[in-house]
Structure 1
Amino acid sequence: MMPSSPQWKAYRKMEPDHGTQKKGTLCQKLSKYAVIFLFLAVFGLIFLLRNVNTAENWNCHTVSALDQHQSRIQSKLPTFHNHTFCAHLGQKPSPEELELEERYLLDSIAWPGPPPRSSPVALNQTSDPVHSLFTLPIKEGREWHVGDQLEALVQMHDFQGRPKIYGGDFLLARLHSPELGAGVAGKVLDHRNGSYSALFPLLWEGSAQVEVTLVHSSEAVAVLRRLREEQPQRVFYKSLFRSGSHSETTVCNMCLPPDQKLQCNYTDLSTGEPWYCYKPKVLGCDTRINHATGGYVKNLLTSKEAPLFQSDVNIKVHIHASGPDRINVLPPRKDRAEVESSVKPEAIQHAPSGYYYKDSWRSLNGVTMRQFNESSAITQCLKDKVIYMNGDSTVRQWFEHLLAFVPELKQFNLHSPKKIGPFMAVDSTHNILLKYRCHGPPIRFSAVIANEFRYISNELDGLSGGPNTVAVLSIWAHFSTYPVEVYIRRLRHIRRAVLRLLDRAPGTIIVIRSANLRALDPEVSLYDSDWYSLQLDEVLRAMFKGLNVLLVDAWQMTLAHRLPHDLHPPPAIIKNMIDMLLSHVCQKSHQ
Structure 2
Amino acid sequence: MDRHIPRLELVVILLVLSGFLLFILNMLTESSNQKCKTPKSSLRHRKSNPREEAKEERSLLNSIKWPGPWVQGLSVELSSDPTKSYFVIQGSSKQHRGGQLLVNVHMQNFLGLPKGHGGDFLIARLHSPNLGAGVAWKVHDHHDGTYTVLFPLLWAGVAWVEITMVHPSEAVAVLKRLQKEQPDRVFFKSLFRSGDLAEITVCNLCLPLNYKPLCNYTDPLTGEPWYCYKPEMLGCDTRINHYKGGYKKNLITEYEAQFFQSDVNIKIPIPASAMGKVTVLPREKGEANVKNNNISAGYYFHGTWRPLNGAVIQQFKDSSAITRCLRGKALYMFGDSTVRQWFEYLSALPNLKLLQLTLYSSYKMGPYMAVDSRNNIRVSYRCHGPPIRFSTVLSSELRYVANELDKIQGGPDTVVLVSMWSHFSTFPDEIYIRRLRHIRRTVVRLLNREPATLVVIRTANLQKLGPGSSLFNSDWFSLQKDALLRVMFRGLHVQLLDAWEMTLAHHLPHDLHPPHAIIRNMMDMILSRICPSEEI
Q: Hey, what does 1:112 align to over in structure 2?
A: 67
Mapping of residues 174-323 of structure 1, within 5 Å: 174-323=125-274
User: In the alignment, which of 390, 394, 401 is matched to residue 456 of structure 1?
Assistant: 401
C-alpha distance after superposition, 1:63-88 (max 9, x if no partner): xxxxxxxxxxxxxxxxxxxxxxxxxx
Q: Contact 2:314–2:533 at 8 Å: present in 1 too?
A: no
Q: Hey, what does 2:426 align to over in structure 1?
A: 481
Shift of 1:590: 4.9
Q: Contact 1:127–1:159 at 8 Å: present in 2 too?
A: yes
1:135 maps to 2:117: no
Q: What SS does the corresponding residue of 1:526 show, helix, strand or coil? A: helix
Q: Hey, what does 1:396 align to over in structure 2?
A: 340
CA distance 1:366–1:101, change in 2 (3 Å) = farther
1:98 maps to 2:53: yes
- Tell me the amino acid that sits aligned with residue 169 of structure 1: D
C-alpha distance after superposition, 1:1-57 (max 9, x if no partner): xxxxxxxxxxxxxxxxxxxxxxxxxxxxxxxxxxxxxxxxxxxxxxxxxxxxxxxxx
Q: Hey, what does 2:467 align to over in structure 1?
A: 522
C-alpha distance after superposition, 1:389-444 (max 9, x if no partner): 0000000011011112x111110133321211111110111100010000000010
Q: Hey, what does 1:71 align to over in structure 2?
A: none
Count how many residue pairs are aligned between Structure 1 and Structure 2. 489
Q: What SS does the corresponding residue of 1:305 show, helix, strand or coil? A: helix
Q: Hey, what does 1:69 align to over in structure 2?
A: none
Q: Hey, what does 1:150 align to over in structure 2?
A: 101
Q: Contact 1:422–1:435 at 8 Å: present in 2 too?
A: yes
Q: Hey, what does 2:40 align to over in structure 1?
A: none
| Distance in structure 1 (CA, Å) of the matches to 2:372 and 2:80 | 54
1:332 maps to 2:283: yes
C-alpha distance after superposition, 1:448-481 (max 9, x if no partner): 0000111111011000110111000000000000
Q: Over aligned residues, Cα RMSD in angstroms? A: 1.6
| Distance in structure 2 (CA, Å) of the matches to 1:515 and 1:588 | 28
Q: Contact 1:136–1:151 at 8 Å: present in 2 too?
A: yes
| Distance in structure 1 (CA, Å) of the matches to 2:535 and 2:315 | 17
Shift of 1:365: 2.8
1:382 maps to 2:326: yes
Shift of 1:589: 9.3
Q: Contact 1:509–1:549 at 8 Å: present in 2 too?
A: yes
| Distance in structure 2 (CA, Å) of the matches to 1:175 and 1:432 | 40
Identify unmatched segments of 5+ residues in structure 2.
1-45
Shift of 1:335: 3.0
Q: Contact 1:133–1:321 at 8 Å: present in 2 too?
A: yes
| Distance in structure 2 (CA, Å) of the matches to 1:302 and 1:356 | 42
- Return the TM-score normalized by structure 1: 0.81
User: In the alignment, which of 385, 408, 413 is matched to residue 468 of structure 1?
Assistant: 413
| Distance in structure 2 (CA, Å) of the matches to 1:304 and 1:435 | 47
Q: Contact 1:410–1:426 at 8 Å: present in 2 too?
A: yes
C-alpha distance after superposition, 1:192-239 (max 9, x if no partner): 000000121111111111000000000000000000011000000000
C-alpha distance after superposition, 1:501-536 (max 9, x if no partner): 000111111011110000000000000000000000
Q: Contact 1:182–1:359 at 8 Å: present in 2 too?
A: yes
User: In the alignment, which of 395, 411, 432 is matched to residue 377 of structure 2?
Assistant: 432
Q: Contact 1:187–1:350 at 8 Å: present in 2 too?
A: no
- Tell me the amino acid that sits aligned with residue 95 of structure 1: P
| Distance in structure 1 (CA, Å) of the matches to 2:493 and 2:70 | 42
Flag the structure with larger Rg. Answer: 1
C-alpha distance after superposition, 1:529-584 (max 9, x if no partner): 00000000010000111111111100000000000000001101111111111011
1:561 maps to 2:506: yes
Q: Hey, what does 2:386 align to over in structure 1?
A: 441
- Tell me the amino acid that sits aligned with residue 495 of structure 1: R
Q: What SS does the corresponding residue of 2:347 show, helix, strand or coil? A: helix
- Return the TM-score normalized by structure 2: 0.89
Identify unmatched segments of 5+ residues in structure 1.
1-90
Q: Contact 1:135–1:322 at 8 Å: present in 2 too?
A: yes
| Distance in structure 1 (CA, Å) of the matches to 2:409 and 2:362 | 28
- Tell me the amino acid that sits aligned with residue 309 of structure 2: N
| Distance in structure 2 (CA, Å) of the matches to 1:367 and 1:454 | 34
- Tell me the amino acid that sits aligned with residue 134 of structure 1: F
User: In the alignment, which of 441, 453, 459 is matched to residue 508 of structure 1?
Assistant: 453
- Tell me the amino acid that sits aligned with residue 502 of structure 2: M
Q: Hey, what does 1:413 align to over in structure 2?
A: 356
Q: Contact 2:244–2:391 at 8 Å: present in 1 too?
A: yes
Shift of 1:92: 6.2
| Distance in structure 2 (CA, Å) of the matches to 1:552 and 1:94 | 29
Shift of 1:116: 3.4
The percent identity for this pair of structures is: 60
| Distance in structure 2 (CA, Å) of the matches to 1:588 and 1:495 | 30
